[in-house]
Structure 1
Amino acid sequence: MRLRRCGTDAVLVEVDSIGEVEAVRAAVRAADLPEVVELVPAARTVLVTARPGGLAAVRRVLDSVDLTHRVDTPSQEITIPVVYDGPDLELVAGTAGITTDEVVRLHAEATYSVAFCGFAPGFAYLVGLPRELHQPRLDSPRTKVPAGSVGVAGEYTAAYPRSTPGGWRLIGRTDAPLFDPRRAAPALLAPGDRVRFEAAG
């Protein structure tokens, strides 16, 4: 774990894996420090922003983090219905050496967790994808991915909250309201949430 000071009241925690990111995020959240005002996990970092003078308390928590152990923190479980008819479903099956039905079964049977959010408002990177479905991004990204598209890329799966360019392999689509700025919490998914996909239609 490497700590880099960011301005006067924030620290960037650098680690080596998404599992270690979750260990740091969960430990800081479980400590419930009043000094912490923002906690932002990413693929290999966690940014912790504190109130003025609060970094000392944050550092004490970070000094005690066991990167091999995840602290259980309160989270919600969300089920997202998916119609598995994506344009890359057969490509994913062929690359994995399995049938499209097996792709659907593997994707829908897994339980995922939100590792971090980014790229676009409400876009959540989910870990827990079965190894058979780990796939490279498309050689040529699409200029427009329809909102609600469900895809896989590398070790992640995700659903696009709005239409954007993207290079993930698309296996389905959902009508779930992934992002709504009128809600108190605009994003449906937040780091630490558990997610299940349910085959629909």
Structure 2
Amino acid sequence: MAGDARLLHRSRHVTLPATSPPSTNALSWRRFGNQGVLLDFDNGEVASRWCRAINESPLDARARPGWRSVLVESTLSSGALIEAISVLPLDTGAERVANEVTIDVTYTGDDLDNVAAATSMSREEVIARHCAPTYTVVCLGFSRAFPYLSGLDPRLWLPRHDTPRVRVPSGSVAIAVDQAGIYPQTSPGGWHLLGHTNAVLFDPNRDQPSLLQPGDHVRFARLSA
């Protein structure tokens, strides 16, 4: 559509300096609106690192993370902006001390048995594999403070439900495709529900309303039902 053509333009690539990590040698980008570019990446953790690098730089730019993308808004021209971004130092993540949050979960989700059947595992193995990783908050979205978490065990990767539920209770701990997440508010949703947490992910009365922020690490801990 003509309207879409004004917003998103053909992807371009910029070759980065040889000192950049191998996974970031090509920066794929598209113009977005009049004062923005959309950077595309192979995975969410790399996108998070670029988002952090841009926001911590002196550039006249603001970056917002997506699952595998970063939207950058700036008064610079797209060419000048990409040139400036491409030479930013990119941390490896090793030197950064991430905030780690443990989420207590009661594993009584409506889809737990179905996930076990679909993955040819027992309920106990599904729970163990869900609890084992340290997840990374790649971005927040969908609803206020909904965390998209990378790090899900590949054995648990399942497509979303063909027909989403009309009502998913707040605090539902869920998985879909290669992501894990938590529903902060009651809402529709098509993810597989494994359990429930009493953690309050969004509270407008807190100094930082969202419990989790991009870049945070998350562990799930099992509670007795």
What's the TM-score once normalised by structure 1's chain length? 0.86
Deviation at 1:137, TM superposition (A): 1.1
Q: Partners in 1 of 2:85 and 2:62 — Cα distance?
A: 15
Which residue does the alignment assign to 1:46? 70
Which residue does the alignment assign to 1:108? 131
2:54–2:61 contact (8 Å) kept in structure 1: no
Which residue does the alignment assign to 1:25? 51
Q: Partners in 2 of 1:35 and 1:145 — Cα distance?
A: 41
Q: Partners in 2 of 1:195 and 1:61 — Cα distance?
A: 32
Which one of the candidate residues 150, 158, 170 is aligned to 2:173?
150
Deviation at 1:121, TM superposition (A): 0.5
Bigger shift: 93-102 or 17-26?
A: 17-26
Q: Which runs of 5+ in 1 are unaligned?
A: none
Which one of the candidate residues 111, 117, 125 is aligned to 1:88?
111
Which one of the candidate residues 150, 155, 165 is aligned to 1:127?
150
Aligned length: 197
Which residue does the alignment assign to 1:168? 191
Mark the CA change 1:66 to 1:135 in structure 2 (over 3 Å): closer, same or farther.
Answer: farther
Bigger shift: 17-26 or 165-174?
A: 17-26
Deviation at 1:43, TM superposition (A): 2.3
What's the TM-score once normalised by structure 2's chain length? 0.77
RMSD: 2.5
Q: Percent identity?
A: 38
Q: Partners in 1 of 2:65 and 2:89 — Cα distance?
A: 17
Counterpart amino acid of 1:179?
A: F
Deviation at 1:56, TM superposition (A): 8.2
Counterpart amino acid of 2:143?
A: A
2:60–2:76 contact (8 Å) kept in structure 1: no
Deviation at 1:7, TM superposition (A): 4.9
Is the aligned partner of 1:178 residue 2:201?
Answer: yes
Q: Partners in 2 of 1:61 and 1:25 — Cα distance?
A: 14
Deviations 1:16-51 (A, max 9, x none): 43344234224324xx2244563211123201234x
Which residue does the alignment assign to 1:138? 161
Counterpart amino acid of 1:151?
A: A
Larger radius of gyration: 2
Q: Which runs of 5+ in 2 are unaligned?
A: 1-26
Counterpart amino acid of 2:64?
A: V
